[in-house]
Amino acid sequence: MPNKRQITRPAAAPETTLEAQVFVSMLRAADALARGAEALLKPSGLSATQYNVLRILRGAGPKGLACREVGCRMISRDPDITRLLDRMESRQLISRVREENDRRVVKTRITAEGLRILKDLDTPMADLHCRQLHQLSPKELRQLSRLLERAGAQTQHSEE
Amino acid sequence: MPNKRQITRPAAAPETTLEAQVFVSMLRAADALARGAEALLKPSGLSATQYNVLRILRGAGPKGLACREVGCRMISRDPDITRLLDRMESRQLISRVREENDRRVVKTRITAEGLRILKDLDTPMADLHCRQLHQLSPKELRQLSRLLERAGAQTQHSEE
DNA sequence: TGACAATAGTTGTTATAACGACTATATTTG
DNA sequence: CAAATATAGTCGTTATAACAACTATTGTCA
């Protein structure tokens, strides 16, 4: 039961390409980071997805965003924005109003309550990220960020 | 609605630390990779999690693994291995037998059918990874892999 | 040995994600 | 202008994830 870093080429493993290695490392690292964030959010009763939506809406400002626009900016796509927002609205984190001009769209905005919760989380979240990545120097972080952006450059969005 | 790479420091965004930037890039990139893999797996009716379990069991060989061991090696932890394996067993992808020595443990093994499906996926999956990461040179891939391992070095497991 | 704790899995329940069909409004075009 | 098409969002259903309590078996030690 080896718990080592170096690949031990276990039994039936087919030729492990460099790309496959990066694939696994990436998912693992991302999962570790996400898990930490979720743990931090749990006391607030927020899921990672909900937190992401709140940040997006804060970034969008008082003009708000259409349902679909929120979906586009999310880190992980959610095919069911409606009910995600339903839950958040019932918890008073966001508000929704149907547009007058184009009555198809529903503008979503963050509430004062949502802003408050988010604000309280800003520092703890930043601290968490630093703790999670403290093993890397600023130079390495920049390097990593650059590589990640290129690696994920398929479905590109812009957050907040 | 900027679709650019460079951070534009949008409206209400608090100071974006380097670490936070890496955090977002990482989740985004991982999501992109995972999405591609899921699309590839869909025709086989496998979820990413199930695929992961099959690879783990193939790597474990004919001795099989205890339920809990499978969970430890998975990329993303699943607190409900039992029902995950239930579904896979009912689809004949795996088999389970209770141990004689220690009657608490249930050994899980991959079936011939599971092996077959996995084998058919090996090449397409490797190709996918190459396509997904073809923007990076071998040197960059090694660099990325190394950085990722250090970034995710909190809950370290060994796959397959 | 007999009570207590630890370990391995299972099961019940609730919430959320995934997939697809459906309604309402707006835009295009013959 | 009416029919067709596109767009925005909603809803029904099924499957899966998340959380927590529960059973069975084994190990510990007073």
Give the pLDDT of residue B159.
37
A 80-109 residues inside an 8 A Cβ radius of B: none
Quote the CA–CA distance of A11 and B158 in Å, as a whole number. Answer: 13
Give the pLDDT of residue A2.
37
Tokens of B102: 């220690």
SS3 A87: helix
Report which secondary-structure segment, H or E, holds A122. helix A112-132
Give per-residue pLDDT as tens, B17-62.
999 999 999 999 999 999 999 999 999 999 999 999 999 999 999 9
- Judged by a CB distance cut-off of 8 A, whether residue A151 touches chain B is yes
SS3 B20: helix
Distance CA B67 to C1' C8 in A = 8
Quote the CA–CA distance of B44 and B95 in Å, as a whole number. Answer: 19
Give the pLDDT of residue B15.
64
Give per-residue pLDDT as tens, B71-94.
989 998 877 899 999 999 999 999
Which residues is A109 bridged to in the sheet? A95
Q: Which residue has the higher pLDDT, A6 or B85?
A: B85
Residue A155 with chain B: CB contacts under 8 Å: 32, 35
Give per-residue pLDDT as tens, A109-134.
999 999 999 999 999 999 999 999 99
Cβ–Cβ of A135/B122 closer than 8 Å?
A: no
Chain C bases closer than 7 A to any CB of the protein: 7-12, 16-20, 24-27
SS3 A159: coil
Averaged over A1-17, what is the pLDDT?
A: 46
Quote the CA–CA distance of A147 and A142 in Å, as a whole number. Answer: 9
Averaged over A56-60, what is the pLDDT?
A: 94
Give the pLDDT of residue B6.
34
Give the pLDDT of residue A91.
92
> In which residue are the tokens 């924005």 written?
A81
Distance CA A28 to C1' C2 in A = 46
Q: Which residue has the higher pLDDT, A13 or A24?
A: A24
Give the pLDDT of residue A118.
95
Q: What is the mean pLDDT of chain A?
A: 85
- Judged by a CB distance cut-off of 8 A, whether residue B39 touches chain A is no
Q: Contact, B145 vs B44, CB < 8 A? A: no
Give the pLDDT of residue A11.
41
User: What confidence category does residue A7 fall into, taking pLDDT thresholds of 50, 70 and 90?
Assistant: very low
Give the pLDDT of residue B156.
38
Count helices and strands (H / E) in chain B.
6, 3
